[in-house]
Structures are given as C-alpha cells and as structure tokens.
Amino acid sequence: MTMLSSPPEVLVTRRTGAHLDHTNDTALCTTTFCTSRSDGVLSVQHDLDPDEISDELAVLLATELDDTGVLRGQSEFEAVFTGVVRSAAAGEEGWLAFYRNSLNRLEQGSAAFAPVHQHAASLVVGGDVVDLGSCFGFFPLRMAAAGLTVTATDISGSTMDLLDRVSGPLRRTVRTLTCDAACVPLPDGAADTVTVLHLLEHLDPAAAGSVLREAMRLARRRVIVAVPFEEVPRACYGHVQRFDDRVLRVIADAWRSAGVRAGVHEYHGGWLILDRCCLTPQPRFVHPHPR
C-alpha cells in the first residue's frame, strides 16, 4: 500500500470545537468522524489527538467509514488515513507520534496486529532479517530494537523515505530499500531470515509466487510468511487474494518437492514457514484459487 498519497478529492481536518449539526444530506457522523461529500470532494473531520494516532487507525477507518459505505475504494481509504495522521499534529510530529504509539501498542500487546508481530519475532532465526513489503516498517523496527541487522523493503519510495526519517529519532537503525518484493537488489543468501508478513494477499497468485521465489533466494535459512484468513478479501486494505489452510498447504507441498522443509500452521491467520535444506531447482508455483 502507498499510504502517503493524498489526492485533492479528499480533505481531512481535525475538529477542535464542538460538533456541529450538518445540513448536507450526504453527511454521516460516527463516533470519531464527521463526513460529507460535495462536488466530488470527500470531507472528513475527526477529533483524534496525537496520543490517539496509531496503526489501529486502519481498523477504525474500516469499521466506521468503509463498512458504512463512506469510502470508495483503497485510494480514499489511504488518503483519509494519511490525512488523519498529518492533521493530528503539525509537521513531522504527527508521524513521530503515529510511530511511537504504534510501536508501543504493538510491543505491549494491545494492538490488534500485536500477536502477528510477536509470533513472527519468535520464528526468526539468525542475526539478520530482510523484510519484504514492509509498508511503515513496524516489524523491522521491532527487530532492530532486539539487536538484529534489518533491511526493510517496499515498493513505495515515500514510505521508505518516511521510515528513514523516523528511525533516527526512534533510535532504531533500519536499512531501507525501495523495490518490488519480487526483485530485490540484494545478493543470494542476503539474510538468515526473510519475512513476508501480510503481503501476499495484496498480490495475484502469479505475483505471490514470484515473491516467494525471491524470498527463498534471499534467505540463507528461513522464510516466514503470514497471511490473513478472510472470507472475502478486504478491498479497502488492498487485498485481492483469499487464503485459507488448504491454499497454504498446496503451496507448502510444491516447495517440499524442491527439497524445502515447509510447514503450515494457524495463529491469528495463516503461516507458511520455509526452511532451506537440500534445495533443488525451484518449483513451478501452482496456486489454487479457492472458490
């Protein structure tokens, strides 16, 4: 996802005074937001202060604005997300507050995504990690705080630039690369562990297969893959592919045929763990589409 975009047809502001009744018949007020749409422009007001801004905002937007039909697709979701963070505090302070709050809640276990990060961290082997599709880079920052050497990668240059800017004030050293997760400019065996956390659901099956092959090329020892189990891919998050236990087991079987030790388990979603042993030529990736 490219969360730093802010198209002109979306206007986000922070409300500082009392809530006022709306005369626009397209207006919708929720617990946190007041929204209206006029002349093609979506206006969103919120009352969140810097202490309340974190990655949990994604769940809040999905529940209060996407489920109620306010948002029209992923681009509006991302624009509102970015607008809320930017309007919560002036300049870079909004993003620093966002990162600090997100990391605190993830590492203390209060965030919805915290079990995924905690479980992924428990599966990492070795002293260095390459993370594919890092987005804001919370997991790489967690690994850096644990003393590992970490490279975060994402196709969004603006998101990697943001991670570069905040990693210093956060005192967590992370190397960043802007690249496609299927074509990472690093040598074979670049890291002990390569993590692919909640990325594959954003890709079609062919692209997902390319990313897994690239992850195995980069990994000296282990690839850790996490995906959500959803009945329907969540469009506002940019999900285009649905995973379940059966799909992961088919993928694991294909890798086993190439000499990879592959395991599948469920914990707050699905996990595929690929361990190098006697790797033979990599498999032709076959990905079933569940119906």
DSSP the chain: --TT---TTEEEEE--S-------TT-EE-SSEEEEEETTEEEEEE---GGG-STTHHHHHIIIIITTT---SHHHHHHHHHHHHHHHSSTTHHHHHHHHHHHHHHHHT-STTHHHHHHHHHH--SSEEEESS-TT-HHHHHHHHTT-EEEEEES-HHHHHHHHHHHHHHT---EEEES-TTS-SS-TT-EEEEEEES-GGGS-HHHHHHHHHHHHHHEEEEEEEEE-B-SS--GGGT----B-HHHHHHHHHHHHTTT-EEEEEESSSEEEEEE-SS--SPPPP------
Enclosing domain of residue 235: 113-275
Q: Are residues 82 and 133 in the same domain?
A: no
Q: Are residues 142 and 254 in the same domain?
A: yes
Tokens linked to 219? 């990994």
Model confidence at 52: pLDDT above 80: yes
Contact 80, 12 (CB under 8 A): yes
Residue 3 covered by a domain: no
Residue 38 covered by a domain: yes
| CATH code of the domain in which 198 resides | 3.40.50.150
Q: Are residues 35 and 74 in the same domain?
A: yes
Q: Are residues 88 and 141 in the same domain?
A: no
Model confidence at 272: pLDDT above 60: yes
Q: Are residues 83 and 193 in the same domain?
A: no
Can you tell me the distance from the alpha carbon of 243 to that of 64, in angstroms, rounded to the nearest whole number?
25
Can you tell me the distance from the alpha carbon of 12 to that of 14, in angstroms, rounded to the nearest whole number?
7
Place 203 in a pLDDT band, splitting at 50, 70 and 90: very high
Per DSSP bridges, beta strands 270-275 and 219-227 are antiparallel
pLDDT in tens, 99-131: 999 999 999 999 999 999 999 999 999 999 999
Q: What is the pLDDT at residue 92?
A: 87
Q: What is the mean pLDDT of residues 261-266?
A: 98
pLDDT in tens, 79-90: 999 999 999 998
- Residue reference for tokens 């969140």: 48
Hey, which residues does 130 pair with through a beta bridge?
151, 194
Model confidence at 28: pLDDT above 80: yes
Residue 99 covered by a domain: no
Q: Are residues 187 and 67 in the same domain?
A: no
Q: What is the pLDDT at residue 285?
A: 46
pTM, two decimals, is 0.90
Residue 281 covered by a domain: no
Q: Are residues 78 and 218 in the same domain?
A: no
Q: Are residues 121 and 82 in the same domain?
A: no
Q: Which amino acid is at 125?
A: V
Q: What is the pLDDT at residue 289?
A: 42
Q: What is the mean pLDDT of residues 163-169?
A: 97
Residue 25 covered by a domain: yes
Residue 184 covered by a domain: yes
Q: Are residues 256 and 159 in the same domain?
A: yes
Contact 259, 280 (CB under 8 A): yes
Q: What is the mean pLDDT of residues 129-155?
A: 98
| Number of folded domains that form the chain | 2
Q: Are residues 88 and 121 in the same domain?
A: no
Residue 4 covered by a domain: no
Q: Are residues 123 and 261 in the same domain?
A: yes
Residue 146 covered by a domain: yes
Q: What is the mean pLDDT of residues 168-191?
A: 98
Q: What is the mean pLDDT of residues 128-142?
A: 98
